Chain A
Amino acid sequence: MEVACTVRLPIFEGPLDLLLHLIKRNEVQVSDIPIATITDQYLATLEELPELNLDGAGEYLVMAATLVYIKSRMLLPTAEDDEEPEEDPRGELVQQLLEYQRYRDVALALGERAVLDRDVFARDPEALGPPAAGETAEPCVRDASLADLLDALREVLRRLRPPAVHEVAREEISIGQAVERILARFVMAERMEFTSLFAVDRTRAEVIVTFLALLELIRLRVLRAEQPERFGAITLALAVATVAEATERVHDLGRLEAGWRGEGEHHGDGDRNG
């Protein structure tokens, strides 16, 4: 990304940004652009580009074509006997510029706020306990989306201890084994915290295998991921009556279709794939 940026126009964030710059420099209104002048200056600026990188330049060139087209339409005489009044050929571009300008202004204002960890600082957050019933803003339990799960995974990975200096022989664990490990945990409890699922995992690889196994179990509708509070902790619950039923379903469905079927020695079939 950094490389591409150096080849692109360094100061402008795109064709609209460049146009707004030219409009400001000419001290004209966005709503009444002197299209001929602006087009000439726009094209001149493009020519000043040291090297046109095709990726970045494409967007500028499309805008150049649009400008030239609008300019040509402005030059055409309007037919006198037209029933409908000719609409301003600049209309659409003006709308686009005004809209972009608004967001650009918001962006500027955001950047000047007291930004956390740049201008202001807070303590590292502690996890709050679950809220008492009835205190949540969204009382109904909602299912956690994949995005919620990924957020939670990122948090687990972040909290993972840095690896010890010495190399430890890696314990290979397959998704199939991780599935069974997870289900075994549900023999004791019907629900558990998302993070507690990863309590025994030591490495990123282990965390990720556990996570993939969890996704698999959710896909097979054996487990449910619930998030009572938006951005809150995710709870996992058994979506079937018993673990035995869960195991059965995993065997019926999971082994048939999923990719983790063949890996490692699952259920003692003992063939190592090399």
Chain B
Amino acid sequence: METVTGTDREHRNGNGYDAAAQADLGRLPALIESLLFAAGAPVPLARLVEALDGPERREVTAALKVLAEGYEREGRGIRLVQVGGGYQLRTPAEHALWVRRLLHERPPRLSRPMLETVAIVAYRQPCTRAEIEAIRGVEAEAVLSTLLERRLVRVVGRKEAPGRPLLYGTTREFLEVFGLPDLSALPTLRELGEAEILSHPELVVDAGGVRPPAPAAADREPAGEAG
């Protein structure tokens, strides 16, 4: 039933593949650290489980926790974050100054119109330009093209409405840039309406609230979609 191809056998015998697969759980955090370092991008849990080929999901999750806590406890220069549907190694925010100086890159500019527009798209996706304009009260064409360029939003389709306007949604880059595990990590708009979050941004950071199916005023459809 199980056919082992030549390459498979090579792997298993030659590279200690089996030994790694059977890795004792104590080695698991370090092994995961290697995988995450090599990948660079956020790696979904399923892909870690697949690559490790042996340990169960919950064992991998436990090892991720050990790794993350180790970084924190020892005050290391790396943090393990859950972002964009996966796990990723990142530098801690308090080291930003030095890293920036080394890389000599200008930090990405995030203007208020960009942030407001991407916030609207994040909550109401898929949504049209007219909907964004109705909420912000100003035209959105220029800022949308900037967001498209920066890959924070993408065109996800067209609305079946007069003029078939484009529909926008957020991207995985959006989650990665703002360090969000997934869209449900955005606070519900009701929470925002009730609490004075202006002075407490950390409320948003860790809110695990589930996103409502649609914000309260979703029924207010802009009349004309002429574009």
Contact = CB atoms under 8 A, between A and B. Distances in A.
Contacts of A113: 178-179, 201, 204-205
A106 interface: yes
Interface residues of A, number: 52
B197 A109 contact: yes
B99 A121 contact: yes
Interface in A40-99: 56, 59, 63, 95-96, 98-99
Contacts of A15: 137-138
A135 B136 CA distance: 41
A123 interface: yes
Interface string B35-46: 001111101101
Contacts of B137: 14-17, 59, 63, 96, 100
B184 interface: no
Interface stretch (B13-21, B26-34, B62-70, B186-194): B186-194
A65 to B, nearest CB: 13
Interface in B99-143: 99, 103, 105, 107-108, 110, 112-113, 115-116, 118-120, 122-123, 135-139, 142
B37 A114 contact: no
B135 A112 contact: no
Given A1-B142, A59-B137, A108-B198, A103 B50 contact: no
B106 to A, nearest CB: 9
Nearest to B203: A109
Given A14-B137, A109-B204, A123 B40 contact: yes
B205 A125 contact: no
B50 A131 contact: yes
* Most central of A103, A104, A137, A146 by chain B CB within 10 Å: A103
Contacts of B186: 106
B37 A16 contact: no
B167 to A, nearest CB: 10
B128 to A, nearest CB: 15
Given A59-B137, A106-B119, A145-B156, A95 B220 contact: yes
Nearest to B115: A107
Nearest to B149: A154
Contacts of A135: 46-47, 50
Interface string B165-192: 0000001100011110000001101001
Contacts of B90: 116, 120-122
B189 A151 contact: no
A105 B198 contact: yes
Contacts of B103: 121
B187 A106 contact: yes
A159 interface: no
B39 A107 contact: no
A118 interface: yes
A128 B46 contact: no
B168 to A, nearest CB: 10
A121 B220 CA distance: 40
B178 A115 contact: yes
Interface string B197-212: 1100101110000000
A149 B157 CA distance: 13
A119 interface: yes
22 contacts: A63-B137, A95-B217, A98-B193, A103-B135, A105-B198, A106-B123, A106-B187, A106-B192, A108-B201, A113-B179, A113-B205, A114-B179, A115-B108, A116-B177, A116-B179, A120-B81, A122-B91, A125-B41, A126-B39, A126-B40, A150-B155, A154-B151
Interface of A: 1, 13-17, 56, 59, 63, 95-96, 98-100, 102-126, 128, 131-132, 135-137, 145-147, 150-151, 154, 231
Q: Which 10 A-B pairs rank lowest in CB-CB distance, beginning with the nearest?
A: A125-B41, A107-B115, A109-B204, A14-B138, A123-B40, A118-B107, A106-B119, A125-B40, A16-B137, A107-B116
Given A96-B135, A103-B120, 16 more contacts: A14-B137, A15-B138, A16-B136, A106-B192, A109-B201, A114-B179, A115-B108, A120-B79, A120-B91, A121-B96, A122-B89, A126-B39, A135-B47, A136-B46, A151-B151, A154-B151
